[in-house]
Amino acid sequence: MKQRNNYTVGSFEQSQIQQTMEAKTSDGQTLVISRWRPYPVGKSKKIPIILLPGLGQNRYTWHLSRISMVNYLVDRGMDVFVPEFRGHGLSRLAGSKAPKGFSDYVFKDMSAIFKTVMEKTGYDKIFLCGHSLGGTIAYAIDPSLDKHVRGYIFIGSPSHFGRGLLLLRLGSQFVDKTLNSMVSRKQREKAGESDPIPFPIDFIGRGIRTGLKILNSPVNFLPYKLWYPGSIEQGDLKERITMGFDRTSTAVVKLMVIWASRGAFVDEEGSDLFERNLRAKKAPALFIAGDRDEVVPDSSMRPAFHIISSTDKTWKNFNMKEHGAHWGHIDLVVGKHAPREVWPYIADWCQER
């Protein structure tokens, strides 16, 4: 297996092609997809993979200036596509608005993304990899897309958000009950017809950045840490927080509050549609968890592993004993040990299929 000592952008400039393309959704939104692929060598086939960022995140989830899972996968012969959902990153710059609900991501955006990637590659089967809420979106996509998936990779992706997080669950139950008592059904329906209200996760990122040295040190005793302190190089972490924290909408955050409050993977109408869509999936599936992921512990993710109908499914927990380090939420992708442990595991799993 070909290996490199680093995965910086500069070391790959001569071995890949980068471009952007647009995908049009059924409701007229413009999504921007970034593509990285190896230069053609003979008639070798390139394996297409779509990488989905999480809640209010963008392409920087996967591709930083010094550490890049994108570059690694390209080096392993994969054709890498990183879409940015409506209202995120380059898609927001192209004029797309924040989602009116989580279902906009699941049904409208994902259908457009699959259609565009299949047209560009000529492949009708593609690997789909999501980090955090990106994987949750993949859980919920319409079962008709399953026939186009060669394999799913879910990295720290909750199906039952809030399980194992007592404080978050209690807080969500309070907010959920308060909103239901204060807002009538008619008012909620009227709000759903208006333009979505952005939720500024980029501002949250700026706040985190001010205390980065403390948050990335052993003295960080805050609950629900986004990464295991010390697991990400300081410069990489600063770039990831500064550039990668983007925006979503309050409607998406509200649904996550409902998930945490009610302990169920429901849609905006309260139905079990998302869980039924997950149950219907039969393509191979890889579930990746971190031993110190305080945002998505095993109990938030394990139900998806049991619900999905794939007969070829793998649960992989990265931990100190087996992999020489503790693993939090975002360090599963950009942690200093990820290029040696996580990325090769994902690439090997894909190439075996």
pLDDT tens-digit series, residues 305-319: 999 999 999 999 999
pLDDT at 2 over 60: no
Q: Is residue 51 within 8 Å of 82, Cβ to Cβ? A: yes
Q: Is residue 351 within 8 Å of 76, Cβ to Cβ? A: yes
pLDDT at 45 over 80: no
Residue 5 maps to a domain: no
Residue 2 maps to a domain: no
Please tell me the least confidently modeled range out of 7-16, 63-72, 96-105, 115-124.
Answer: 7-16
Residue 321 maps to a domain: yes
Q: Kindly report, residue by residue over 188-230, the tens digit of the pLDDT.
A: 555 555 678 888 888 888 888 787 777 787 777 777 889 999 9
Phi–psi pair at 207, nearest 5 degrees? -65, -40
Which range of residues forms the domain containing residue 145?
A: 10-351
Bridge partners (DSSP) listed for residue 30: 24
Q: Is residue 116 within 8 Å of 23, Cβ to Cβ? A: yes
Residue 57 maps to a domain: yes
Question: Which residue type occupies 145?
Answer: L
Q: Kindly report, residue by residue over 143-157, the tens digit of the pLDDT.
A: 999 999 999 999 999
35: tokens are 């593509």
What pTM, to 2 d.p., does this model score?
Answer: 0.91
So what's the pLDDT on residue 190? 56
Which residue, 225, 190, 236, is CA-closest to 297?
Answer: 225
- At 317, which CATH number? 3.40.50.1820
pLDDT at 180 over 80: no
So what's the pLDDT on residue 41? 62
Phi–psi pair at 138, nearest 5 degrees? -65, -35
Residue 104 maps to a domain: yes
pLDDT at 332 over 90: yes
Cβ contacts of 7-14, under 8 Å, gap ≥ 24 = 7/66, 7/67, 7/68, 7/69, 7/71, 7/72, 7/75, 7/339, 8/65, 8/66, 8/67, 8/68, 8/71, 9/63, 9/65, 9/66, 9/68, 9/71, 11/71, 12/68, 12/71, 12/74, 12/75
Torsion on CA atoms 69, 127, 34, 27, rounded to nearest 10: -140
Residue 131 maps to a domain: yes
So what's the pLDDT on residue 84? 97
What's the total number of domains in the chain? 1
Report the relative pairing of strands 198-199 and 248-249 from DSSP bridges: antiparallel
Residue 4 maps to a domain: no
Residue 3 maps to a domain: no
Which residue, 3, 189, 227, 5, is CA-closest to 100?
Answer: 189
Binning pLDDT at 50, 70 and 90, where does residue 50 land? very high
Q: Give the mean pLDDT of 256-281.
A: 95
Binning pLDDT at 50, 70 and 90, where does residue 72 land? very high
Q: Kindly report, residue by residue over 121-151, the tens digit of the pLDDT.
A: 999 999 999 999 999 999 999 999 999 999 9
